A = this chain, B = another copy of it.
Amino acid sequence: MRHVIFGESHGSAIGVTLEGVPAGLELDLEEMQRQLARRAGGHSALSTARKEADRVEVLSGVFDGKTTGTPLCLVIRNSDQHSGDYESIRYTPRPSHGDYAGFIKSRGCIDYRGGGHFSGRLTAPLVAAGTVARQLLRQRGVTVSAHISSIYGIRDASPQSAAELLSVADKDFPVLDDERGREMQQAILDARKEGDSVGGAVECLVDGLPAGLGAPDFGCNVEGVFSQHLFAVPGVKAVEFGAGVAFALMRGSEANDPFVVEDGQVRTETNNAGGVNGGITNGMPVTFEVTLRPTPSIALPQRTVDLRTGEETEIEIRGRHDPCIVHRAVPVIEAAAALAAWELLGQ
């Protein structure tokens, strides 16, 4: 299965084309809308002013409710754009946004309105595509679940099982420990009050993948396949599998996961490896954590350069912006993980 995400934040539509979807899947569009609602984060007091219905239109690839094996094109119309707001950033790129890099890449032909193709809005079609992958995975007994693992240094509890982690999916603010969740929300509101934003991390668990998927080789190895999908999510700057960066503090005797037998199955007692040995799944849950940078859109004045004159100047970004995207990123990370897991199953 291969996906191409298209669209711009203030263009007529955003969407995704999906090749290689197997025929015969009963596409659950209601679940797709539910996942999109999680991403929109509409119920939360923490979210952006922009409200979109995000109705998915299926242009192709589905007949009588089932996929036909031909490419799917899923389209979401843009409705609530205020393009006028963005004229000010056309030649004064916002720090740590894609504005400048995109301006250079496109030789000035970038659609700068609202971040254009770089906008977080483009995670909506990613979630739509991921929902298709999740439905395919479910038929194979594979689930994908995630939670906010930390925001601005406040850490959630660690999940004890895939089932526990699946239970946070219905929450507006998907954490295991709601008390910690309230602290995180307070940190977000504090930042917003000061016109600032905060970063955080999402932990994800893919349960049910059989042992033997992937390869040690470039292009096939499990960590490589997942990371390529995960880094395509805007704002992701680090990806760690299993014990992750903590491996640098460990000895082999602590880090190694002894093989044991459970219910007649080979398992590992611990799962520091995050379910992957030598680039191949070992039958344990694949676990990873991704770090998301603080939203670069802040309400404080920032230094930048006027690309017309080549001189330094200041920019102040107008309009309301999310001071944190980590909670809304949870279904997006799940979607990216689902696409990666399906790619591995199909190799």
Interface size classification for chain A = 35 or more
Q: Is A3 an interface residue (CB 8 A)?
A: yes
Q: Is the CB of B101 within 8 A of A252?
A: no
Tell whether A278 pairs with B310 under 8 Å between CB atoms, given A4-B71, A111-B63, A111-B68.
no
Contact B19 A266 (CB under 8 A): no
Complex CA gap A323/B241 in Å reads: 22
- Are the CB atoms of B237 and A274 closer together than 8 Å? yes
* B253 pairs with A298, CB closer than 8 A: yes
Across the interface, A293 reaches (CB within 8 A) one of B68, B219, B247, namely B247
A298 to B311, CA, bound (A): 58
The answer to whether A278 touches B211 (Cβ under 8 A) is no
Chain B residues near A260 (CB-CB < 8 A): 303, 305, 312
Q: How far is the CA of A108 from the CA of B211 in the complex (A)?
A: 13
The answer to whether B200 touches A248, judged by C-beta atoms less than 8 angstroms apart, is yes
* Complex contact A241–B240 (CB within 8 A): no
Output the least CB separation between A340 and chain B (Å). Answer: 10
- How far, in whole Å, are A125 and B264 apart by their CA atoms in the complex? 39
For window 183-228 of A, CB contacts with B under 8 Å fall at 191, 196-201, 211-219, 221, 223-225, 227-228
Q: Would you call the interface of chain A mostly helix, strand, loop, or mixed? A: mixed
A102 B280 Cβ-Cβ under 8 A = yes
Contacts of A293 in B (CB 8 A): 243, 247, 250, 255, 272-273
Query: What is the CA–CA distance of A236 and B276 in the complex, to the nearest angstrom?
Result: 11
Question: Do A247 and B238 contact each other (CB < 8 Å), given the known contacts A4-B17, A68-B117?
Answer: yes
Pick from B6, B107, B259, B291: contact of A17, CB below 8 A: B6
Chain B residues contacting A229 (CB-CB under 8 Å) are 218, 224
The answer, yes or no, to whether A116 is at the interface (CB within 8 Å) is yes
Residues in B with CB closer than 8 Å to A159 are: none
A-B contact pairs, 7 of them (CB 8 A): A6-B61, A8-B61, A8-B68, A64-B109, A104-B280, A221-B232, A227-B228
**A277: contacting residue among B97, B191, B258, B274, CB under 8 A:** B97
A68 touches B13 (CB 8 A): no
CB-based contact A5/B71 at 8 Å? yes
Is A167 positioned at the interface, with any CB of B under 8 Å from its CB?
no
Q: Find out whether the CB atom of A6 lies under 8 angstroms from the CB atom of B248.
A: no
